[in-house]
Amino acid sequence: MKNKKVTLDFNELRKGGIIKQRQKDYFILRTRIPGGYLKAEMLAKFMQIAKKYGKGYVHLSTRQCIEIAWVYIKDLSKLIKDLKRIGILKGACGPRSRNIVACPGSSVCRFGFLDTEKLAKKLDKKFFGLDVPKKFKIALTGCPNSCAKPQENDLGFMAQGEPEVDLNLCTGCTLCAKVCEQVCSRAGKPAAIIMGENKRPVYRKEFCFFEGDCVRVCPVNAWKIKRTGYAVFLGGKVGRFPMFGFKIAEFVKEEDVSRIIEKTIEVYKKQANKGERFGEAINRIGIEEVKKEIL
């Protein structure tokens, strides 16, 4: 074998989730797991790759992905071929849209209103790895508990449910008003459900957090979820200069999520300077202006 010099285009590698390590000639492989859902048989394949190319361990990233460090420079092209053959997806670094994170969602979680797994997988096909001014992170969360932290992503979707009560079924036990008061008081707000005349609950939508505690607690199922949708947060980030996303919409239907992402990326690319996160651009331009363009 000739000792041929390895030439690498670092930017091209970064695009495919290969990150230069602190140590000379070693790289970290960043994979991608849409929504953080992985079949057990795939997990075994990650283990094989970690043993073959790394040091036999993996690191779990905050974006629900597996990273494998200690890949030697001369093994990179072989690794990339192996990943393709096995079906392990590569992640993204640099100025690109990232792995979509998701909470467990309604398929298993008792709080979840919407199926975040299904949606994450669908959106990944369309919106992963796109070129953007800096980074673009999307999070999907199944209820206002916000486990997937939609408020700290460039674009976050938080499922919510609006309740309604059937007074014919209500027995006047007052539990709904009690749990509602517990929820609302934590935010320093008046309760959305108060007990009215003849021990009948009165719903005041303007104070509601749409978390569904009343529905879960009602002993006779008098409270039901009338409609579900997503609240949309825009411009959130952490990093060196953290900021919370702006809530720009509520009860967005699932079929409109794709369109909103598409539009948001388009506006981000148009409005932000190179190297600028969307939140920073929004602070410069004004949220109302940006909101108008997206919705």
Residues that bind another protein (CB under 8 A): 110, 171, 173-175, 178-179, 182, 213, 216-217, 219-221
Task: Give least dist CB 220 to another protein, A.
Answer: 7
3-state SS assignment for residue 96: strand
Cβ 35 vs Cβ 140: under 8 Å: yes
Strand 138-141 and strand 101-102: the pairing is parallel
Our CB check for another protein shows the closer of 123 and 214 to be 214
Task: Give least dist CB 254 to another protein, A.
Answer: 25
Work out the burial of residue 24: count CB atoms within 10 Å of its CB; fewer than 13 is exposed, 13-18 middle, 19 or more buried: exposed
E-strand stretches of 46-154: 59-60, 66-72, 101-102, 138-141
How far is the C-alpha of 142 from the C-alpha of 61, rounded, in Å?
21
Our CB check for another protein shows the closer of 110 and 125 to be 110
Our CB check for another protein shows the closer of 129 and 212 to be 212
Task: Give least dist CB 144 to another protein, A.
Answer: 16
Task: Give least dist CB 209 to another protein, A.
Answer: 14
How far is the C-alpha of 231 from the C-alpha of 208, rounded, in Å?
13
Task: Give least dist CB 176 to another protein, A.
Answer: 10
Phi and psi at residue 76, to the nearest 5°: -60, -50
Q: Partners of 97 in the beta sheet? A: 136
Q: ∠115-103-93 over CA atoms, to 5°?
A: 110
Task: Give least dist CB 213 to another protein, A.
Answer: 7
How far is the C-alpha of 136 from the C-alpha of 127, rounded, in Å?
10
Cβ 185 vs Cβ 191: under 8 Å: yes
Task: Give least dist CB 248 to another protein, A.
Answer: 31
Our CB check for another protein shows the closer of 215 and 252 to be 215
Strand 26-30 and strand 201-203: the pairing is unpaired
Our CB check for another protein shows the closer of 103 and 179 to be 179
Our CB check for another protein shows the closer of 196 and 239 to be 196
Our CB check for another protein shows the closer of 175 and 232 to be 175
E-strand stretches of 168-290: 193-195, 201-203, 223-234, 246-252
Our CB check for another protein shows the closer of 164 and 256 to be 164
Backbone Cα Rg of the chain: 23
Task: Give least dist CB 175 to another protein, A.
Answer: 5
The 10 Å CB-count burial string (b at 16+, else e) for 37-64 is bbeeebeebbeebbeebbeeebeebebb
